[in-house]
A and B are shown apart, each in its own frame.
Chain A
């Protein structure tokens, strides 16, 4: 290969969408590169000018603009532009300007076309039309989340302890004690005849795996039989061994052990032992999940004991994320854990305070109501009391109940709500009739300022007590909201308050106005505004659903959004949620307190592009909302 082609290739191959190309295709791209230099401030592509090539930024930085002159994107080394114009009509629609001295590699249209035709991933990447990338990203992770597909190597926690079979029983026992293990693998030097069974260790020596000795063997075959501790291991070895490949599933490993009535299973990568898995590892693995956690919650008899479950809640969250579960599954699991915890806290409080003097319902708002809870979340709840409630007679009881549950939640890792949306707040501990009046008022006299603080109540679900109280409220909202354009318009206006950024540039978050930030709060700038948008549409079609995905299904069925739009929003919600959850899982693993602030440097190239697309979809959805639910008299 010519030196300059290698030079171009080395750089290009490190950046998407080229990083996925075959060597052959990469050579074709590198061999076709043409080069042009642009001083900072000069125009690289003029609107309506011809486009004959894809542009790749070798060094420097550029800005891309929309037709109205607004900043559309800022790109740096390794980024590409011009792909949309190439795909469309070969005329520049998005003008481009160098903001630093910039060296561009141009890849001819003919090569670009061949790549699009020959490489599906490449084509997916450059075709930003619709939600293709977001869709394929979400769908791909969906395919990977089969729990049965978890490979057994995930359970390996240490390298296997091995000893030559010529060593004595005593040496083996000493080694096992030293490493604190209950089994040791037996090996002997490999030779030519065994060439298809040997493995090579880190020092390059060849070995043959011949068997395994366990605590039980030492007891049964040595001590009980009175055999000398100086006996070589080879003479007591079974001479056979059941093992499993590291890529097999956890499920398969468990079945193998049950089938053969064994407690330990050596795990091999090809022929090399990489670990030993114990039946107890599998039991622990199987029980370290949310179902087990929920059971465990109801067994606890004190707030203190419940609070001690916090590490397990986090472990279960991390595991779900690591296994590739989607945000809906994780959100559902975390919500059921949270709800169980809350229900248990109410039970414990009732046990202490006595039975409630009048029927009531503990209801939740926000993420717990939407069934999309993540790991860090404030408590948002309220109490609906029976209309027979008399403040003087019953007030103290419910105040105390609310206080205990709220304190308990705080102790269990659900901090107090800063906005005061808690049943401890007298305004949010009211009889059903009063609650109905609240909602009727909010809907009939929609003051945006007041709505800003009350919109959280429009996601609501019962947790404990008279569930039908909350259902009545949900019915009231569903029937009244859709008939009140002013209410929907006010809600829509509030939904535009928080906007997504434009994307990323180098290690910064790029804002709509071109400013840079070091981090992005993915909840505040993405997930929450998207939930706001979805809520408006859901209320607009009279949906009773609380979960974002379910709401989107109902919005779609009602035909309230243009075709394909709800799918896009659904992919966007999934992607933003899972990126946030992955980030939080990583922070837990790194021993940091999980939060919502994501630094661009921790985002992979491909995730950046997908996130940018998600932000764009959210931004478009916000614009559509303004148009769909216009403020009256404006």
Chain B
């Protein structure tokens, strides 16, 4: 599914899409989000304002499941600023399933008292506006946010992301050798967040929390850039 979206969207350019959406969107929040623009695709990553984003959801399918909490932290290649980040617990339209509550350590009463996502959507879009979104595993934040916007605003919401997991897969799972190794039952190295971080000497963070995970993702991206790229690397080499 994503391959097709990618093809459709990258052929004109993200800048064109953002400009068009700024005109076409009817709701104020989205209009502003698109009006803030997107980094030039040949611009150096070192100059781009970034935002690490992490959702905790009740499941993996945006049609079936809902967002429970949102964490984000603005950063760039020089510094990560947790104090400028945000964290929300939101009340999903359907009642939460018990097993996912245990996983997120968010209690029923926290969710009961939380606002529905529509109430914080504009604030969330404002925090993302003008920044390139960085996530670990692209199939959660972008599709879930798009689904939430579509459900609550009736409009589409797409944007480029950098996926630190996909970047990790580039060097951890590249080469034909892995196909051969798999034949012999060898497991490829894990590219999950904690395992990827460990390869860069990044510390273990104990909490399972959207904002902590967003910070962890930002740190991982800084480390990946320091080891494998340059601040001058063009954005188009990285985003999806």
Contacts and interface: CB of A to CB of B under 8 A. Distances in A.
Interface of A: 2-8, 10-11, 31-39, 42, 58-60, 100-103, 106
B207 A37 contact: no
Given A4-B207, A4-B211, 7 more contacts: A3-B211, A7-B205, A37-B202, A39-B223, A60-B201, A102-B201, A103-B202
Given A37-B223, A39-B226, A6 B207 contact: yes
B212 A3 contact: yes
B81, B201, B218 pick with most chain A CB within 10 angstroms: B201
Nearest 8 A-B pairs (CB), nearest first?
A101-B201, A3-B209, A39-B226, A35-B80, A37-B222, A59-B203, A3-B207, A4-B212
B226 A37 contact: yes
A32 B207 CA distance: 19
Contacts of B82: 4-5, 8, 33-35
A2, A7, A37 pick with most chain B CB within 10 angstroms: A37
Contacts of A10: 206
B200 A101 contact: yes
A483 B87 CA distance: 76
B79 A106 contact: yes
A5 B83 CA distance: 9
Contacts of A36: 78-80, 222
A105 to B, nearest CB: 10
B219 interface: yes
Given A3-B209, A58-B203, A100-B201, A39 B79 contact: no
B225 to A, nearest CB: 9
Contact of B203 (A3, A32, A33, A103): A103
Contact of A42 (B75, B85, B207, B226): B226
Nearest to B206: A7
Interface residues of B, number: 26
Given A34-B81, A39-B226, A7 B212 contact: yes
Given A7-B212, A37-B223, A42-B226, A59 B202 contact: yes
A103 B220 CA distance: 10
Interface in B3-46: none
B227 A35 contact: no
A35 B219 contact: yes
Contacts of B206: 7, 10
A576 to B, nearest CB: 35
B215 interface: yes
Contacts of B212: 3-4, 7
A345 to B, nearest CB: 61
A435 B87 CA distance: 83
A436 B10 CA distance: 97
Nearest to A59: B203
A133 to B, nearest CB: 28
B198 to A, nearest CB: 10
Contacts of A102: 201
Interface string B186-222: 0000000000000011110111010110010011001
Contacts of A7: 205-207, 212
Interface string B60-101: 000000000000000100111111010100000000000000
A489 to B, nearest CB: 50
Contacts of A3: 87, 207, 209, 211-212
Nearest to A32: B83
A15 to B, nearest CB: 13
Nearest to B84: A34
24 contacts: A2-B87, A3-B212, A4-B85, A4-B209, A5-B82, A11-B203, A32-B83, A33-B82, A34-B81, A34-B82, A35-B75, A35-B80, A36-B78, A36-B79, A37-B200, A37-B202, A37-B219, A37-B222, A37-B223, A101-B200, A101-B201, A101-B202, A102-B201, A103-B219
Contacts of A8: 82
A634 to B, nearest CB: 48
A37 B79 CA distance: 8
A100 B226 CA distance: 12
B79, B82, B85, B222 pick with most chain A CB within 10 angstroms: B82
A5 B79 CA distance: 17
Nearest to B208: A3
A33 B212 CA distance: 13
A580 B85 CA distance: 49
A37 B202 CA distance: 9
A82 to B, nearest CB: 14
B226 A38 contact: yes
A6 B215 CA distance: 13
A35 B203 contact: no
Nearest to B224: A37
A4, A60, A101 pick with most chain B CB within 10 angstroms: A4
A11 B200 CA distance: 19
Contacts of B202: 37, 59, 101, 103
A7 B212 CA distance: 8
A34 B80 contact: yes
